[in-house]
A and B are shown apart, each in its own frame.
Chain A
């Protein structure tokens, strides 16, 4: 497994969904075509497959069942799950001790907020910039679409990242994009995080 040089396997969790049998056939085929020529992604596919085999599983998990019986059971199971969660929630509220005020939670004053600046770059690119955080060894930059999909991700030691033109193409009208940056310490723990900032259309 060499240095991760391509983020394709991470985009929308495509590698995990591929091994889990949860990609549509066109999606799986597109990922395979990419993996055929991308060493970084192939290494990740092979590593995932090896781990599955070493743990006593087949390389690919069974695709989710689409049988009629399961469809009919779906609403009933969902209702039962909702009821269970409600009961659990009520019980937890009833048994909860007083709220501790000893330490602020993450995202509180200690964690710090990272100001994220987004501005147009050259040739329709978009530049994301943030100030250096003391003790940060890397920054984790992620772009999400407004429907919750992760569309781009990069780990960098720099305090700037450039999105090339063409990355942010809305899959359908009404979809917009948001960016976040996390500062990570040397053990990979987040020590500061930006707010979710809207990325302007190029």
Chain B
């Protein structure tokens, strides 16, 4: 029998569900703030407020918790008084514009651990050249499907289908070398 101080099971379930949102909230905050440490604080703050609201019985519908957390992230980021101009400046700082910045000095490298980054790099290298080029054009050069299609002689739909398959193959390679979720900060 649980002790009287143990939180009820549903509350624990809700807390687990919130914990699973942490990585997303951190990424969404990082986009706004351009700083992973601050983004971590904001994600933590959003989860803390949600748990407090749960414990205080202020949450009528637990399914609304993700939206509650997201709204908190948006508000806290705004509260950190990044004006639109400063935000754009932060984003520019956030990105490696010329692609030559070193990982160690780039504050934007913060979503995944060094170990995971190395595993992703190895997995990308194991893909065939076609998959590798497609993923690079899509996610590194961020070209849209139509542009990639023109370059590779494919339709936009075919580019998307191939991209999905390439992502699936990359995930398979990563699954072989690393347990899911491992390595995420």
Contact = CB atoms under 8 A, between A and B. Distances in A.
A60 B32 CA distance: 10
Interface string B74-117: 10000000000000100110111101010100101111100011
Contacts of B160: 10, 153
Given A16-B144, A59-B111, A182-B158, A37 B91 contact: no
A58 B109 contact: yes
A49 interface: yes
Q: Which secondary structure characterizes the binding site on chain B?
A: helix
Contacts, number: 153
Contact of B91 (A44, A56, A60): A60
Contact of A61 (B120, B142, B144, B170): B142
Contacts of A43: 171
Interface of A: 1-4, 10, 13, 16-17, 19-22, 28-29, 32-33, 35-37, 42-63, 138, 140-142, 150, 153, 155, 180, 182, 184, 188-190, 193
Given A53-B109, A54-B117, A60-B108, A45 B142 contact: no
Interface of B: 21, 23-25, 27-28, 30-31, 66-67, 69-70, 74, 88, 91-92, 94-97, 99, 101, 103, 106, 108-112, 116-117, 120-121, 124, 135-136, 138-140, 142-145, 154-158, 160-162, 164-165, 167-168, 170-171
Contact of B92 (A2, A45, A63): A63
A140 B149 CA distance: 15
A140 B111 contact: no
Nearest to A138: B161
A2 B168 CA distance: 7
